[in-house]
Amino acid sequence: MKAKHLKLILGDQLNPKHSWFEYVDPDVVYLIAELNQEASYTKHHIQKVTAFFVAMSDFAQQLESKGHRVCYLTLDDTQGFQDLTELIKSLILKYSCAAFTFQSPDEYRLKQQMCDLSKNLDITVHQVDSEHFLLPFDDLHSYFKPSTHVRMENFYRTMRKRFSILMNGEKPEGDAWNFDANNRKSFKKNDLKLIPKPLIFDNPADDFLQRIKKHNIKTIGNESINIAYPINRQQSLLLLDFFCEHQLPNFGNFQDAMTIASPYAWSLYHSRLSFSINCKMLAPMEVINTAISFYEKSDGKITLSQIEGFVRQILGWREYVRGMYWVNMPNYTKQNFLGAHRDLPDFFWSGETNMQCLKSAISQSLEHAYAHHIQRLMITGNFALLAGISPEQVDQWYLGIYIDAIEWVELPNTRGMALFADGGWIATKPYAASGNYVNKMSDYCKGCRYNVKEKISDNACPLNSLYWNFIDTNYDKLSSNHRMSFPVRNWDKMEDSKKVEIRDRATYLLNNINDL
């Protein structure tokens, strides 16, 4: 049956509230397709690929149930097409379409692909907004400049004012812009008993899993025949309410904490809404407003410190990294300020390491396709920074292993925040830490083979010598950074014999990195 108009819906554009769907147009066909191109541009976690496909299929069914015409294609249907471009051209001919429209992609590679396709079509082509982000795309250059440091705190304050979030007129509620200093508690024994059991779902995925295997899609991580994450808006709203009721009251307190002493160590007080938001099943402003509504009605159960910490992640950080991504692409992918080139250790793919912190964070990621922001930044990211791992390899690992990882949010977080590969566009200093930080914010060091208190012995925590070796190796670049003056001065004061021992220990560790 012919159609006048073909509209493309990508896997991260599952927004039932988009204006496209306000009324049924029989002349429009919506294309949703499982593609080898998208499943294979990096090696993804098997649960990530499966979750996207399950969510896309559910979205297609929802649209059809409301009367919309949908062309849903599985890997079986698209295997004969080289890529998305070839598929679209074929369907335009099949339906005799006079127009093709797509929502603006969030990833640079897809936007370029769509722009190149648009130039080669002899029908009318439209690009429309995804109607998701708080800042319009055309406004980004008013807030961000290429290859330039933009302070997130300043951006966050501007966003608070622009959208009147947690404000009393021109002043912030509570007379403070953020309560980050209150959000760094670690778990005590009694705290562990109060961690809520997470809400997980049981979405059947076996058919999708088998199809992925059939088409030899190369993946990482532990597979599951059921998807534990929300795969539609209805489930996403349930998870949002669960977070606000059961986790938000302690979110700010423990948002940086880590533990292995709880059966819910992988979820803690984190919302795990990022997959739902990044796929646009939830809008960022409705998430913020819902959380604030719970805060206002909580009779003090949810404090300002808790709600502000959560709002900052969405209103501040999420919008911030999107802006930094777009104004710096494609240049961002080439940044390697510290000249890091070492290969990613084998244990990043298996979790088999004697370092308890890395074993816990990596094994959790392989099991659940998820880790919270401090595990990503200060455990796996910190190790990659100290060990001088290639930014390209670290990018691919982060982009593949996490269910919520899409390049616009992954790249600035990894290359900018974790690895300081951009030289300071995002962070004002490298977020480098010795074992002391891990010991302070977690119980990972308990029972670890290595001793967090030692620096150079055979039993010493590798992070300790690697930290000082990182200072030494990058001395010229770090000594001019005022925020690194304290550790640089401490290195300068260290006895030469001690420096030699640290260098020797770090060299040994790096030469035997796969055996740590």
Gyration radius of the chain over CA positions: 24
Q: Which CATH number fits domain 5-128: 2.60.40.60, 3.40.50.620, 3.40.50.10420, 3.40.50.1970?
A: 3.40.50.620
The three-state DSSP-derived secondary structure of 387-453 is: HCECHHHHHHHHHHHCCCCCHHHHHHHHHHHHCCCCCCCCCCCCCCCCHHHHHHHCCCCCCCCCECC
CA–CA dist 85, 270 (Å, integer): 38
In one letter, which amino acid is 196?
P
Say how many CA atoms lie within 13 Å of 254 toward its Cβ.
Answer: 23
CATH class of 346-515: mainly alpha
Which long-range contacts (C-beta less than 8 Å, at least 24 apart) are formed by 78-83?
78/33, 78/34, 78/35, 78/36, 79/36, 79/215, 83/35, 83/37, 83/113
> At 389, phi and psi to the nearest 5?
-75, 140
CA–CA dist 270, 63 (Å, integer): 31
Tens digits of residue pLDDT in 459-504? 999 999 999 999 999 999 999 999 999 999 999 999 999 999 999 9
> Among candidates 76, 32, 84, which has minimal Cα distance to 58?
32
CA–CA dist 2, 27 (Å, integer): 8
Residues in the chain: 516
> At 405, phi and psi to the nearest 5?
-85, 110
Look at residue 180 in the predicted model and tell me its pLDDT.
79
> At 450, phi and psi to the nearest 5?
-95, 150
Tens digits of residue pLDDT in 392-415? 999 999 999 999 999 999 999 999
Look at residue 502 in the predicted model and tell me its pLDDT.
95
Contacts of 354 (CB under 8 A, 6+ apart): 448, 449, 450, 516
Share of the chain above pLDDT 70, in %: 100
Tens digits of residue pLDDT in 144-174? 999 999 999 999 999 999 999 999 999 999 9
Q: CB–CB of 348/380 below 8 Å?
A: yes
Say how many CA atoms lie within 13 Å of 374 toward its Cβ.
Answer: 23
> At 84, phi and psi to the nearest 5?
-65, -40
Q: Is the pLDDT of residue 181 over 90?
A: no
Q: Is the pLDDT of residue 1 over 80?
A: no
Q: Which CATH number fits domain 137-204+232-328: 1.10.357.10, 3.40.640.10, 3.30.70.20, 1.25.40.80?
A: 1.25.40.80
Buried b vs exposed e over 259-278: b needs ≥16 C-beta within 10 Å?
bbebeebbbbbbbbbbbbbb
> What are the sequence ranges of the domains in the chain?
5-128, 137-204+232-328, 346-515
**pLDDT confidence bin for 184, thresholds 50/70/90:** confident
Look at residue 513 in the predicted model and tell me its pLDDT.
97
**pLDDT confidence bin for 183, thresholds 50/70/90:** confident
